[in-house]
Chains A and B, each alone.
Chain A
Amino acid sequence: MSQSISATGRFKKYRIDFSLIPIGIVILELAAFLTQFGNKQYSHISGLLEARGLHALVLIIVSSLTIYLCKKYKVQEFSYFQLSLMGLVFIGLADLIYMFIASPFGVSEVTLYRRVAVGFIQAGFWFPLLIVIGSRRTDIIKYFKEYEKNLIISARTRNRTSPEFKQTQSSIESEISLELDGVCKKLYNSIAAVDLESGELSHANDEIQKALIQHDLRSLSVRLESFSAEQKQSTFLGQNMTSVNLLIKQFGILYTSTLRLSPLRARAYALILLVLLAPSFINSFTLNEALIYAPPLIISISLMSLLIVRVAKKGTRVSARVVSLLIIATGLLPFIANQIGQHFTSDPNTGHPIYETVISLPLSYYVFMKVLQILQVQSVETLKKGDLVASKALESAIYQTVKDEFAHALAHRWAIYIHGKILTRLAASALKLEMAKQVNDISTYKSTVESLKSLLSHPTLEFDTESGDLQSQIASRLDPWLGLLEVDLFIEPSLHTLDNHRVLSVGEVIEEIVSNSMRHGKAHKISLRVMKQGERDIQIIAVDDGGTPPPEQPTRYGLGTTIFNLVSDGRWSITRVDSHTEFNLTMSIE
């Protein structure tokens, strides 16, 4: 058995973490309770509950003592064989303790030889398996996290570059632009309706000033800014998504991938069904009956297991479904054997209830094999980028997130433009008109009104969508900061002349990095490096001397996070190294 599941071996030593032992004890007690309950081995249910509860408590105390001794004497590495031996001692001791506890609580026990057989199965299989998998949980979680990260990056890239997303982008852009046009047109009409030729400048000015005070533009700007500042409480699709969530959404695909890349061995399929089956066999069958039932059952289970692995190796989606059906079918073999066997032996003890043989056993076997297969998660490391397939639910959630991030970032840019350019111009024009009125300068008044009308007829004209080449884009972002912050910049020469739609995004990232360093980190000096990474990516590394450490991962949301996630597809990090803060982002330049 020890070699049937990858990463286990008879002589290999495992660094053991016993922290899952209490959970194992509870599971063990529950299984024993269900068996005794099913076999009516009690006079009162409360007696059975109390007996199992007390037994669990004693075992937890014994195991805690063992863990304490192992830690004290620094015994941390065991082979599978040693674990089995330890399991045997532990289970034996547990059974001994139960012998004393059972009768005072009115619970009867099965015969000694049956208890010994069940004990061997528990000690030789469940006990070491639980400890080995439990000890590997950090590695398993690490692989899940890695898989999760790669999957999200890949799905983000796919969504961001899809024609559907590009269409959504243009539609969001034109939606904002149209709304601004509409508001400005209304204002234009109000100003154009004022008669400047009547000679009554004071009256005309009152009308224009009244129109300029209108709040529609301000409301639009505030609305856009509030939308862009909406913070997501859940960082579900950032890099903080928990593997448990991923596992639920991604279970089927992860299962198919691991099944194709690293299928469990046939021995694992056979052994696990046999050990699941063994306790009820041992408890209900006589030796003669077992000798009649067991051989054909073992042979048929082994053959089915070979078939399962053979189909699994085909590696297609259909084969994964067939494997699922075959697992269920294999799980039903004991039921079939039982039905046939009843014709020969007619022993009521071996006529197991149908819910046990048709539902409970095949279902437990199915779930167990699937979970065990998923635990081969290290195999997903070998998946290529294009093979990282997200489930429909995950893909759609990622699409929505990328779309929201884009809309938030764009809304922010428009809000800044409206209040920084248009509202400012309106306010300055109002002042200029007021001054012209005071000195009755009709010519200046009229020319100011004409400038205003020109601004309002083409309100989006100065909205910055041009990027230029990479070097000039970065320079245009950094220049305004000079004087407040010392900047040391290096751009790989081959990137200087890069000129495509991604350059504007690089500029936005640089702007966010520098403003974060100064505003949140209170930095005085920042070093920026922009380098090529492979053929399609660039890497931006920023190190500043900010005294304030960056916030922890879970609290990292807001506009900066939105921009970084959107631009890099989630490939960014902030770390504190000594007295410096290091920011690292990788983004595609295609």
Chain B
Amino acid sequence: MVEDDEFTRTTIKTALINKGMNIVFDTASVKDAMEFARNNRPEVAVLDYNLGKGPNGIDLANQLRRIQPDIAIVLLTAFLDPSQLDKRIAELPEGSRYLIKHSVTKIDVLIEEINQALLHSAS
């Protein structure tokens, strides 16, 4: 899980763990995320769109897919329509899901998206 805001990262992580998910790695750093993915091949990556200065979630998603083509990706964004924010949302790797952060209030919605992403990456 990659999210630059520590409060948000910890909150979502705790909610997912409470629902029985195994969060193998969480970080604010793109570099650390890439290194972890290279060495551990996680099943799913939950990425924030806005990672502060530097690359955004789409950049990271594309690079993750490059090194691990079967990784499932869920992108979190604060926008209702992320394409308003970045036209490149269309460049998200195939099968990726994006989710408005506010819907994460119901953590089951995020879990459903993770399952959908896994399903798409498997097919």
Contact = CB atoms under 8 A, between A and B. Distances in A.
Interface of A: 209, 212-213, 215, 218, 221-222, 225-226, 415-416, 419-421, 423-432, 434-435, 451, 476-484, 511, 514-515, 518-519
19 contacts: A213-B102, A215-B80, A221-B79, A419-B79, A420-B50, A420-B78, A424-B5, A427-B78, A427-B101, A430-B104, A434-B107, A435-B11, A435-B107, A477-B53, A477-B54, A484-B31, A484-B60, A511-B53, A515-B55
B59 A431 contact: no
Given A480-B29, A480-B51, A428 B7 contact: yes
B18 A435 contact: yes
Contacts of A424: 3, 5, 8, 48, 50, 78, 101
Contacts of B88: 519
Nearest to B84: A222
B50 to A, nearest CB: 4
Contact of B102 (A212, A226, A482, A519): A212
Residue of A215, A427, A434, A435 ringed by the most chain B CB atoms within 10 A: A427
Interface in B6-58: 7-8, 11-12, 14-15, 18, 29-35, 48, 50-55
A74 B121 CA distance: 67
Interface residues of B, number: 40
Contacts of B60: 484
A425 B59 contact: no
A518 B8 contact: no
B8 A419 contact: no
B119 interface: no
Contacts of B52: 420, 480
Interface of B: 3-5, 7-8, 11-12, 14-15, 18, 29-35, 48, 50-55, 59-60, 63, 77-80, 84-85, 88, 101-102, 104-107
Contacts of B7: 425, 428-429, 451
Contacts of A484: 30-31, 34, 55, 59-60, 63
A515 B60 CA distance: 12
A457 to B, nearest CB: 17
Nearest to A213: B102
B12 A431 contact: yes
Residue of A415, A431, A481 ringed by the most chain B CB atoms within 10 A: A431
A479 B14 contact: no
Contact of A428 (B5, B30, B33): B5
A428 B53 contact: no
Contact of B31 (A218, A225, A425, A483): A483
A431 B11 contact: yes
B33 to A, nearest CB: 7
Contact of B105 (A427, A451, A511): A427
A190 to B, nearest CB: 16
A511 B54 CA distance: 7
Contact of A423 (B3, B12, B101): B101
A430 B35 CA distance: 32
A415 B12 CA distance: 23
Contact of A519 (B8, B59, B101): B59
A426 B79 CA distance: 12
Given A427-B78, A427-B102, A480-B31, 4 more contacts: A424-B5, A425-B5, A426-B102, A434-B105
A538 to B, nearest CB: 20
Nearest to B102: A427
A451 B102 CA distance: 17
Contacts of B12: 428, 431
A514 B30 CA distance: 15
Contact of B5 (A421, A476, A478): A421
A430 B8 contact: no
Nearest to A226: B84
Contact of A483 (B35, B50, B53): B35
Given A428-B8, A431-B12, A480 B54 contact: yes
A24 B44 CA distance: 73
Contacts of A515: 55, 59
A483 B30 CA distance: 7
B15 A435 contact: yes
A115 B88 CA distance: 71
Residue of B35, B53, B106 ringed by the most chain A CB atoms within 10 A: B53
Contacts of B4: 420
A513 to B, nearest CB: 12
